Amino acid sequence: MHGLAAAYYLAANHGITDVAVLDKSYIGSGGSGRNTAIVRSNYLTPEGVAFYDRSVKLYEALSATLNFNVMFSQHGHMTLAHNDSSLRTMRWRAEVNKLQGIESEVIDEREVNRLVPQLDVSPHARYPILGALYHAPGGIIRHDAVVWGYARGADAAGVHIHQNTEVTGIDVSRGKVTGVVTNRGRIATGTVLNATAGWSSTVADLAGVPLPIETFPLQAAVTEPVRPFLHTVIVSGSLHVYVSQTDRGELVFGASVDPFGSYSTRGSLEFIEGLAGHVLELMPSLSKMRLLRQWAGLCDMTPDFSPIMGFTPVDGFLVDVGWGTYGFKAGPVSGEAMAECIATARTPAIIDAFGLDRFEAGELVGEKGAASVGH
Amino acid sequence: MILLPCPWCGPRNVGEFRYVGETVSRPDPAATTPEEWRRYLYMRRNPRGMLREGWYHTMGCRRYVTVDRDTATNAAGGQP
């Protein structure tokens, strides 16, 4: 989706239409179709907050912009606090958010209970709920529709989209990109954008650019559909779980990344047992719900949980990688920023802090507001 | 089930281990530059395929072990 969004904004904002989007499978087959479709902007660093706030604003207008219903439902986003220290971090997060003009507040367990009566707020729970960080503009979206909307918009503007086209080589001559080799032929170009999430390292290797990235699977699961009852996204950092109900009525459960790196997207029984247990800690009334399926997506984790965007030591090879657990939320704004980066050959201010050179310079941007990161 | 070969305990379930990560060579702290040191800290090969990596056998012998694992299939040390 990042690649399609960048192509769309190159055409829409900058009039550049000689663009090809290459996908080794079908569009939306990777992280874009495997995430849990949660959108929010209540991150912790000022850089992160500014960035995601822009993304939420783009998402709010996206159905109109693309003339394609992406079914963005801003029904609120709640991060639960199970102990005093996470409550303290949430107050900190709420203040950082408010300073940047973002709706975000700490609520107590009575308010949590009023918003979601199914949550067990009794003090006897194994992980008692003391309060929550409530972020009203957060919500869920139909992730496939976002992919298709950008693809249709880009296609209509003249961008070529090649599915089932795997990049097998990147030609670099005297430190400058000259072309891309695929399993369906070669494309001569001076500019390549690597937006391949969990596969970032393998593609960057083709251009000879080392990345500070490790690929971890993140597993998720979905239940059978039931009548709508959950009108808020619920996140518990301590229990490493998030729950939301889709428009079709299914409950979607997500988690943090697996405990070890891998490119395998095979699900594990340990994961599903742990996840179900944690969901029942939060909402015991779900004990009779049946899981429909589980799956995994690949996350490109960076040492500071922040993305890597912009230019690299190889001229013409750009990256939009390192999105880890939250690339989907950032799709529109990173597409917009990368398009500007390519069109103007300058790094836009909004992504200035996210350059690849920050690792050698030792200027990391610690984003501890990332998905299900405990504090 | 994913099995890791522990040289002391034999093949054991991956859940008994804590992941340490890709094996990287540490430059001499006295002779290195800050840039080289940070490359050692952060840069990773992250291959899709065979990877030499460290694990800690938390629920077994509590020793650090080195494992060769295929990151595409999770097959380690000759195990299917």
pLDDT band at A44 (very low <50, low <70, confident <90, very high): confident
Q: Pick from A251, A268, A301: which residue ends a domain? A: A301
pLDDT reported for residue B79? 46
Q: Rounded mean pLDDT of A318-337?
A: 94
- Could you tell me if residue A100 is inside a domain? no
pLDDT greater than 80 at residue A371: no
Chain A residue with minimum CA distance to B38: A360
In chain B, domain spans:
3-70
If asked whether residues A186 and A286 sit together in one domain, one would say: no
Q: pLDDT by residue (tens digit) across B37-68?
A: 999 999 999 999 999 999 999 999 999 999 99
pLDDT band at A367 (very low <50, low <70, confident <90, very high): low
CATH superfamily of B3-70: Folate-binding superfamily (3.30.2270.10)
Which residues span the domain enclosing A283?
Answer: 109-133+215-301
CATH number of the domain that A286 lies in?
Answer: 3.30.9.10
Write down the mean pLDDT value for chain A.
93
CA distance A215 to A230: 32
Q: Pick from A285, A301, A317: which residue ends a domain? A: A301
**Where are any strands of DSSP class E within B1-80?**
3-6, 10-13, 18-22, 50-56, 64-70
pLDDT reported for residue A128? 95
Chain-chain contact of A211 with B44 (C-beta, under 8 angstroms): yes
Q: pLDDT by residue (tens digit) across A68-83?
A: 999 999 999 999 999 9
Q: Pick from A281, A301, A321: which residue ends a domain? A: A301
Chain-chain contact of A214 with B21 (C-beta, under 8 angstroms): yes
Q: pLDDT by residue (tens digit) across A95-139?
A: 988 988 889 999 999 999 999 999 999 999 999 999 999 999 999
- Could you tell me if residue A357 is inside a domain? yes
- Could you tell me if residue A12 is inside a domain? yes
Neighbours of A152 (CB within 10 A): 16
If asked whether residues A63 and A116 sit together in one domain, one would say: no
If asked whether residues A64 and A146 sit together in one domain, one would say: yes
CATH number of the domain that A164 lies in?
Answer: 3.50.50.60
Contacts of B22 in chain A (CB under 8 A): 214, 261
If asked whether residues A290 and A317 sit together in one domain, one would say: no
If asked whether residues A225 and A263 sit together in one domain, one would say: yes
Q: Rounded mean pLDDT of A197-201?
A: 96
Chain-chain contact of B74 with A201 (C-beta, under 8 angstroms): no
If asked whether residues A124 and A152 sit together in one domain, one would say: no
If asked whether residues A290 and A147 sit together in one domain, one would say: no
| Closest by Cβ to B39, choosing from A205, A214, A360 | A360
pLDDT reported for residue A43? 78
Q: Tell me, yes or no, if the pTM score tops 0.80.
A: yes
If asked whether residues A154 and A50 sit together in one domain, one would say: yes
- Could you tell me if residue A322 is inside a domain? yes
pLDDT reported for residue A374? 39
- Could you tell me if residue A89 is inside a domain? no
Instruction: Determine the distance in angstroms separating the CA of B66 from the nearest CA of chain A, rounded to an integer.
Output: 14
Contacts of A262 in chain B (CB under 8 A): 71, 74
If asked whether residues A117 and A219 sit together in one domain, one would say: yes
Chain B residue with minimum CA distance to A212: B43
Instruction: Count up the domains in chain A and report the number.
Output: 2
Q: What is the DSSP string of A26-54?
A: STTSSGGGTS--EE----SSHHHHHHHHH
Angstrom distances, CA of residue A122 to CA of A81, A178, A349, B23, B63: 13, 63, 46, 46, 41
pLDDT reported for residue A56? 87
pLDDT reported for residue B47? 96
Chain-chain contact of B74 with A362 (C-beta, under 8 angstroms): no
If asked whether residues A125 and A228 sit together in one domain, one would say: yes
Q: Tell me which of B42, B51, B71 to substitute to probe the interface with A (most A C-beta atoms closer than 10 Å).
A: B42
Q: pLDDT by residue (tens digit) across B6-30?
A: 999 999 999 999 999 999 999 999 9
pLDDT reported for residue B56? 97
If asked whether residues A223 and A293 sit together in one domain, one would say: yes
Q: What percent of chain A has pLDDT over 70?
A: 98
pLDDT band at A375 (very low <50, low <70, confident <90, very high): very low
If asked whether residues A240 and A337 sit together in one domain, one would say: no
